[in-house]
């Protein structure tokens, strides 16, 4: 078939609009004999019958394997340069008690970015000693809780935070290990990195203020300096941004060694994943090796020992293991004028007329409340009909959500079988990271459950909300509420929380 002129240049018509590209789908996704999408041996239609739509599905074995693989990649790369690596899972990507246990069993620590994330990790039994605490605006209560339970590191994000952490640690009689987050000026995004102005973002301490901040840390007996921290961005495909950051940070690291120990260097997370089959992130083993090579050469150049390394991957552990299942509600083909390319006499002669092409809006029963990423970042995703295979000629589709906003898009552009229809189940892969984590109740839509699948068994790991859950939060309905949380038919007994 010919490409639809409305499709972006990167999106080619598929050879098979039912195929599940291995790089994009969970490790244990395949089609059953009848064409049904199977996730770790569980049929998509069975999942939907039990849990409804939308539903987030996580391939448990895939998460565990990715955690193991990422840890092994860094341990072996840094082991070869006589260093070692501690990998912390960045819980912001998706944290629940079960996921905290899976990554702990794979030997990872956990990195938390709020008191709430810390509470989940602790409730799941995460060892505080391998928990790191982040945040550019930590409250005193968050700091106190972290120090009280004995977290392994707090990443200090500003000069002023030094005194606050030190005072709370002193009061609690603790010696708190801390890192210092540096704004190295390297900001990486997919395919590129930019060495931008240092000052114009909220995270970390600029390189120019780093020495005085570490001096301040070292003045306190209640603090123990572990080393520098750098996180250069997210969804990064190549090694060069990491290498640039290592090179800059090691200069500072060497300078700090003149006045005391600096045992570690934390290089953050940000390792990219494939959302569509044109995305080709460099394998994590290669990135780990490149980072180790850069670290070894920087240390040799500066004449200092190679520090131990800490890393904080989030997306690359859980992202590819997640799939969201939706139900198609409406299919709406639209004739759309194709934007005219710039006039080219050689090509166009005098026959320039507007052309129109068909874009088919496939609206599903979820949207920006369960995945804000397409609306927020214009992130690209892919999609497949989950409930069957089809040999119908593919059409260019835009998968839209059910919210009252034109920008409520689930997949901007994808070729779907031309017979896609109301009632079909639609699956969007690579939704395991920053989907549930950033979900909202926009339009009073209840957030979906998260279901783990493994070896043919499905179980809820995060309950979905019901509309009653949402109504219970509406204080305007408190009068006349019964113990069950329902609004009583007659006014009378009230409960409050």
Task: Provide the annotated active-site residues.
Answer: 404
Calculate the CA 87 to chain-centre distance.
16
Chain residues 254-273 in contact with ligand LLP, contact rule CB under 6 A: 268-271
Chain residues 343-402 in contact with ligand LLP, contact rule CB under 6 A: 373, 377
Report the residue number, 231 or 402, with the smaller CB distance to ligand LLP.
Answer: 231
Binding mask 131-170 for ligand LLP (x = CB under 6 A): ---x------------------------------------
Among 434, 447, 452, 461, binds ligand LLP (CB under 6 A): 434
CB of 88: closest distance to ligand LLP in angstroms?
Answer: 8
Helices in 349-424 by DSSP H: which ranges? 373-377
Report the residue number, 253 or 481, with the smaller CB distance to ligand LLP.
Answer: 253
Beta bridge partners of 417: 394
CB of 458: closest distance to ligand LLP in angstroms?
Answer: 26
Helices in 303-372 by DSSP H: which ranges? 315-318, 345-348
* Token pair belonging to 69: 């693989």
Q: How far apart are CA 212 and CA 112, in angstroms?
A: 26
Among 235, 324, 382, 431, binds ligand LLP (CB under 6 A): 235
Binding mask 55-94 for ligand LLP (x = CB under 6 A): -----------------------------------x-xx-
Asked if residue 231 binds ligand LLP (CB under 6 A), the reply is yes
Residues 6+ apart with CB under 8 A from 85: 71, 74, 75, 77, 78, 79, 288, 308, 309, 310, 311
Query: Cβ atoms within 10 A of the Cβ of 320, count?
Result: 27
Q: If DSSP codes are grouped into helix, strand and coil, which group holds residue 5? A: coil
Smallest CA-to-CA distance from 108 within 67, 54, 52, 140 is with: 67
CB of 203: closest distance to ligand LLP in angstroms?
Answer: 7
Interface segment toward ligand LLP; rule CB under 6 A; list 44-52, 230-238, 288-296, 411-419: 230-238
Q: How far apart are CA 472 and CA 202, in angstroms?
A: 36
Report the residue number, 268 or 281, with the smaller CB distance to ligand LLP.
Answer: 268
Specify the pairing of strand 176-183 against strand 186-189.
Answer: unpaired
Report the residue number, 6 or 232, with the smaller CB distance to ligand LLP.
Answer: 232
Beta bridge partners of 205: 182
Report the residue number, 47 or 321, with the smaller CB distance to ligand LLP.
Answer: 321
Chain residues 289-328 in contact with ligand LLP, contact rule CB under 6 A: 312-316
Report the residue number, 189 or 358, with the smaller CB distance to ligand LLP.
Answer: 189
H or E stretch covering 210: helix 210-218
Q: How far apart are CA 364 and CA 48, in angstroms?
A: 14
Chain residues 105-124 in contact with ligand LLP, contact rule CB under 6 A: 111
CA end-to-end span of the chain: 60
Residues lying near ligand LLP in the complex (CB under 6 A) are found at 90, 92-93, 111, 134, 231, 234-235, 268-271, 312-316, 373, 377, 433-434
């Amino acid at each position: 078939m010919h490409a639809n002129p409305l499709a972006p240049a990167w999106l080619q018509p598929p050879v098979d609009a039912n195929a599940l590209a291995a790089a994009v789908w969970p490790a244990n996704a395949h089609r059953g004999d009848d064409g049904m999408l199977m996730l770790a041996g569980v049929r998509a239609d069975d999942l939907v019958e039990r849990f409804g739509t939308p539903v987030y599905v996580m391939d448990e074995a895939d998460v565990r394997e990715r955690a193991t693989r990422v840890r092994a990649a860094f341990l072996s790369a840094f082991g070869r340069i006589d260093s070692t690596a501690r990998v912390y899972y960045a819980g912001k990507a998706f944290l629940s008690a079960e996921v905290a246990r899976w990554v702990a069993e794979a030997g990872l620590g956990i990195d938390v970015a709020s008191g709430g994330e810390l509470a989940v990790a602790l409730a799941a039994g995460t060892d505080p000693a391998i928990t790191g605490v982040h945040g550019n605006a930590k409250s005193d209560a968050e700091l106190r809780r972290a120090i009280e339970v004995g977290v392994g590191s707090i990443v200090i994000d500003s000069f002023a935070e030094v005194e606050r952490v030190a005072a709370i640690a002193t009061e609690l009689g603790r010696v708190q290990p801390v890192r210092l987050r540096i704004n190295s000026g390297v900001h990486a995004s997919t395919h590129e990195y930019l060495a931008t102005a240092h000052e114009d973002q909220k995270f970390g301490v600029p390189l120019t203020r780093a020495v005085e901040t570490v001096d301040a840390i070292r003045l306190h007996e209640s603090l123990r300096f572990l080393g520098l921290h750098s996180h250069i961005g997210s969804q990064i495909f190549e090694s060069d941004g990491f290498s640039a950051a290592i090179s800059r940070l090691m200069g500072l690291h060497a300078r700090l060694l003149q006045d005391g120990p600096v045992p570690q260097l934390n290089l953050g997370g940000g390792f990219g994943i494939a959302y569509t089959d044109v995305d080709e992130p460099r394998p994590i083993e290669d990135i780990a090796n490149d980072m180790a090579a850069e670290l070894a050469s920087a240390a040799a150049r500066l004449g200092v020992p190679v520090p131990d390394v800490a890393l904080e991957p989030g997306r690359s552990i859980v992202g590819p293991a997640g799939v969201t299942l939706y139900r198609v509600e409406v299919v709406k083909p639209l004739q759309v004028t194709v934007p005219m390319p710039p006039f080219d006499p050689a090509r166009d002669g005098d026959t320039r007329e507007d052309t129109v092409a068909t874009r088919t809006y496939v609206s599903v029963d979820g949207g920006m409340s369960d995945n804000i990423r397409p609306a927020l970042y214009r992130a690209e995703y892919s999609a497949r009909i989950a409930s069957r295979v089809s040999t119908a000629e593919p059409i260019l589709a835009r998968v839209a959500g059910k919210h009252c906003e034109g920008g409520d898009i689930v997949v901007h552009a994808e070729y779907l079988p031309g017979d896609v229809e109301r009632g079909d189940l639609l699956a969007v892969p690579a939704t395991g990271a920053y989907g549930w984590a950033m979900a909202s109740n926009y339009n009073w839509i209840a957030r979906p459950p998260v279901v783990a699948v493994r070896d043919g068994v499905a179980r809820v790991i995060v309950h979905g909300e019901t509309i009653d859950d949402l109504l219970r939060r509406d204080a305007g309905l408190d009068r006349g509420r019964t113990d069950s949380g329902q609004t009583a038919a007659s006014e009378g007994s009230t409960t409050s929380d």
